[in-house]
Chains A and B, each alone.
Chain A
């Protein structure tokens, strides 16, 4: 009641701006059941109102109306909180698509609600098909680089990777001179780091 659990749900979003929390099924379902409870109350009040109208007691109509209004507002409030929760998570997932490329890491995937996975998939497909049509990779850094090539240091053993037109073996701590546009996704995925030194 009072939309307390809905507020808790929204508060979860504020604790951490970049990290995604596991989808909170318990709280989410609790809010939905609260909405149903409020709805039940509105229906009983409405029924009572109708009954009283037939009896000719019009004096308490306003009082009933006030009660129904309170429950109605509670439903709206809970709905707003639920929608905001989904909306902000979806926003974060969109941002991830731009940072990490089409494939989400496994440990992020398991935090998501099935519908969110569906969303990520369709969003990613829409974006990729748009980029293929334009024939431009829109996800690269928007500031033009001073040099098309950069030096990168490998942070983890990756193995053979096709960079440009030749395959390169990326061994841990080796330093490579690669095209910036190709290195960018790997850097944001945490596999390489830019080598300055």
Chain B
């Protein structure tokens, strides 16, 4: 299990999945807007966030349907050219969520599919991260998932750090938190 305080993990578990209740649950009417008596009936289809669904699946109270971002159409798209697919709009935590669903054994073919997807996208991502200039054309950035964005930024930062090391810039810098304020009240020299 990921770190209890991990922000990414917490936000990832907020993604919703569509689920089917296998048993009735009393007193949980807030989950299902169509229920009339504050109960969730057996067989009702409800969108639940992953943190709730995962525990209930383990207790076999409900069944998770495979989310549409992992369906056959998306898989075909990814097979055609992994690097061009806009995964962020499908699900910002594509891989993490996929891994969770594999753990809950929603679909046995999901694991290998995720691996090939990342492999297909990784090389392209790395090339772009190491060559992209600061003001450069970053049209593909919104297509990346959260995980890939972090990879991309790590790559770009290391290039920046390398350049700074080569040029021997100043080592000590002002704490970042003070940055905003100083810009505001700085007076020009000639005033």
Contacts and interface: CB of A to CB of B under 8 A. Distances in A.
Interface of A: 1-3, 7, 10-11, 13-14, 18-20, 41, 44-45, 48, 60, 62-64, 66-71, 73-74, 77, 80-81, 83-84, 87-88, 96, 99-100, 105, 107-108, 141, 143, 145, 173, 183-184, 187-190, 193-194, 196
Contact of B175 (A45, A69, A143, A188): A188
Interface stretch (B4-12, B80-88, B96-104): B4-12
Contact of A3 (B14, B169, B173): B14
A68 B172 CA distance: 55
Contacts of B23: 62-63, 66
Given A19-B176, A69-B56, A70-B31, A3 B26 contact: no
Nearest to A87: B5
B171 to A, nearest CB: 6
Given A10-B11, A63-B25, A70-B31, A194 B171 contact: yes
A1 B30 contact: yes
Nearest to B21: A66
A99 B173 CA distance: 10
Point out which of A44, A62, A145 has the most chain B C-beta atoms below 10 A from its C-beta: A62
B178 A80 contact: no
Interface of B: 4-7, 10-11, 13-14, 23-28, 30-31, 39-40, 49, 51-52, 55-56, 59, 61, 169-182, 189
B175 A96 contact: yes
Contacts, number: 122
Given A1-B30, A88-B5, A193-B174, A70 B52 contact: yes
Contacts of B27: 41, 44-45, 48, 64, 67-68, 71
A115 B173 CA distance: 29
Contact of A64 (B26, B61, B178): B26
A88 B189 CA distance: 39
Contacts of A70: 25, 28, 31, 52, 56
A31 to B, nearest CB: 13
B182 A190 contact: yes
A145 B182 CA distance: 28
Given A11-B11, A173-B189, A67 B26 contact: yes
A191 B172 CA distance: 12
A187 B172 contact: yes
B26 A66 contact: yes
Nearest to B53: A73
Contact of B28 (A19, A20, A67, A143): A67
17 contacts: A7-B11, A10-B10, A13-B7, A63-B23, A66-B25, A67-B40, A69-B25, A73-B52, A73-B56, A77-B51, A87-B5, A96-B175, A100-B175, A100-B177, A105-B178, A188-B172, A196-B169
A20 B177 contact: yes
A48 B189 CA distance: 75
A7 B175 contact: no
B177 A189 contact: no
A69 B59 contact: yes
A14 B93 CA distance: 14
A143 to B, nearest CB: 7
Given A14-B11, A63-B23, A70-B25, A190 B175 contact: yes
